Amino acid sequence: MKRYDYLIVGTGLFGAVFAHEMMQRGKSCLMIEKRDHLAGNIYTEEVEGIQVHRYGAHIFHTSDKSVWDYINRFATFNHYVNSPVAIYHDELYNLPFNMNTFSKMWGIKTPAEAKKIIADQIADLGITEPQNLEEQALSLVGRDVYEKLIKGYTEKQWGRPCSELPAFIIKRLPLRFTYDNNYFNDRFQGIPEGGYTQIIEKMIHGADVLLNTDYFTFIKGHEGIAKKILFTGAIDAFFDYCYGPLQYRSVRFETEVLDTDNYQGNAVVNYTAREVPYTRIIEHKHFEFGKQPKTVISREYSSEWKVGVEPYYPVNNEQNTALYEKYRALGATRPDVIFGGRLGQYKYYDMDKVIAAALKAVNDEEAAFL
């Protein structure tokens, strides 16, 4: 049996960056992946000439120039700017929350008018330090925007009342008093031409890879296969849920090819009313300004995770944060294992943060081999 420097569990972005950097440093890597394809949740595949984001829309955005330069070594990014729209019953609004949203909602024109309406709507609530997502959202945008564009969407997405969710989730979204529909404030943004999977393929060139291989089955009989393990699966699963499972949200995607060239006129349309069972519809071709005769759309349904289902989003509330701390402490007793990525570190990481965290893990390792 060949002995490797690293056994890397998971071929998502974290595992791939780590493998790439370690191979550059002359280390050998075996990557194992339980799915039948590479790239984790950023996997894209071509359907009808369109790059389909199989695990949900992935828009790369960052303010970190070094991360932007890093990812651009593996692909050319287009000039896509994410500007979703939200549909609430028969009303359509621009996102993120900006003057276009407020003007449509209240028939006003100026930032001063919008600020006055928001201030009036929250004057009697007495929120000084928002304690949860509901208080945070109300204090930022007032009651109308909260009721129409946040409450229903968030409760579908997270399956919990907004009053029981952490405030930071809503702080991900910009709030602006300018007419600017860019969903992100970051300096750099785009979609890789030709999709994300090719990025991972390039990164892991030179590694040995086994698909359809679950770590927990594989490791029995291969205990000594590597000097060290990078584990990018769920940390509670690694420890056989010994303190009980962490909570995650899962997502189901219903994807259809339609015989029309343009279904909804935008890549991302959010459905913010509670009664609509899905949270958003993605029309993939618009990420690449596609002109194909057909189109591919995906409806996203959010659900609570249970053991055996694919986890997507960590639910970073107080209870889970405390439980994760126990798993993290247990992880620290295993110096032969590095835990990384959205599931390994139980963090609501975007792709740019995953790259930065993987590069940091490499630096920490490098310090250890000196």
Using CB under 6 A, list all residues that contact ligand UDP: 86, 95, 149-150, 153-154, 157, 169-170, 172-173, 270, 272
98 binds, among ligand FAD, ligand UDP, none (CB under 5 to 8 A by kind): none
Please list every residue from 131 through 170 that binds ligand FAD, using CB under 6 A. Answer: none
118 binds, among ligand UDP, ligand FAD, none (CB under 5 to 8 A by kind): none
Q: Rounded CA gap, 39 and 357, in Å?
A: 17
Out of 21, 40, 136, 288, the residue judged to bind ligand FAD by CB under 6 A? 40
Task: Taking the CA atoms of 159, 161, 167 and 172 in sequence, report the sign of the dihedral they define.
Answer: positive
Phi, psi of 113, deg, nearest 5: -65, -45
34 binds, among ligand FAD, ligand UDP, none (CB under 5 to 8 A by kind): ligand FAD
**Close Cβ partners of 240 (under 8 Å, ≥ 6 residues apart):** none
Of 120-128, 287-295, 344-352, 361-369, the segment contacting ligand FAD by CB under 6 A is 344-352
Q: Rounded CA gap, 197 and 238, in Å?
A: 26
Out of 14, 93, 248, 346, the residue judged to bind ligand FAD by CB under 6 A? 14
297 scored as a contact of ligand FAD (CB under 6 A): no
Out of 46, 69, 214, 364, the residue judged to bind ligand FAD by CB under 6 A? 214
Tokens 């785009």 belong to residue: 190
Out of 22, 42, 50, 200, the residue judged to bind ligand FAD by CB under 6 A? 42
C-alpha pair distances (Å), 275 with each of 100, 153, 155, 158, 257: 25, 10, 11, 15, 25
Q: How far is the CB of 20 from ligand FAD (least distance, A)?
A: 13
Q: Rounded CA gap, 31 and 211, in Å?
A: 8
169 binds, among ligand FAD, ligand UDP, none (CB under 5 to 8 A by kind): ligand UDP
Q: How far is the CB of 82 from ligand UDP (least distance, A)?
A: 9
Please list every residue from 218 through 237 that binds ligand FAD, using CB under 6 A. Answer: 232-233
Helix axes 111-122, 133-145, angle to 10 degrees: 120
| Binding residues with ligand FAD: total (CB under 6 A) | 36
Comparison of 155 and 201: residue with beta carbon closer to ligand UDP: 155
Residue positions annotated with a catalytic role: 172, 176, 249, 280, 300, 348, 350
Of 28-36, 93-101, 259-267, 270-278, the segment contacting ligand FAD by CB under 6 A is 28-36
284 binds, among ligand FAD, ligand UDP, none (CB under 5 to 8 A by kind): none
173 scored as a contact of ligand FAD (CB under 6 A): no
Contact yes or no for 294/275 (Cβ under 8 A)? no
Structure token digits, residue 2? 């060949």
Comparison of 203 and 268: residue with beta carbon closer to ligand UDP: 268
270 binds, among ligand UDP, ligand FAD, none (CB under 5 to 8 A by kind): ligand UDP
149 binds, among ligand UDP, ligand FAD, none (CB under 5 to 8 A by kind): ligand UDP
Question: Dihedral through CA 359, CA 363, CA 369, CA 370, nearest 10?
Answer: 150
Q: How far is the CB of 64 from ligand UDP (least distance, A)?
A: 18
341 scored as a contact of ligand FAD (CB under 6 A): yes
Of 91-99, 172-180, 185-193, 345-353, the segment contacting ligand FAD by CB under 6 A is 345-353
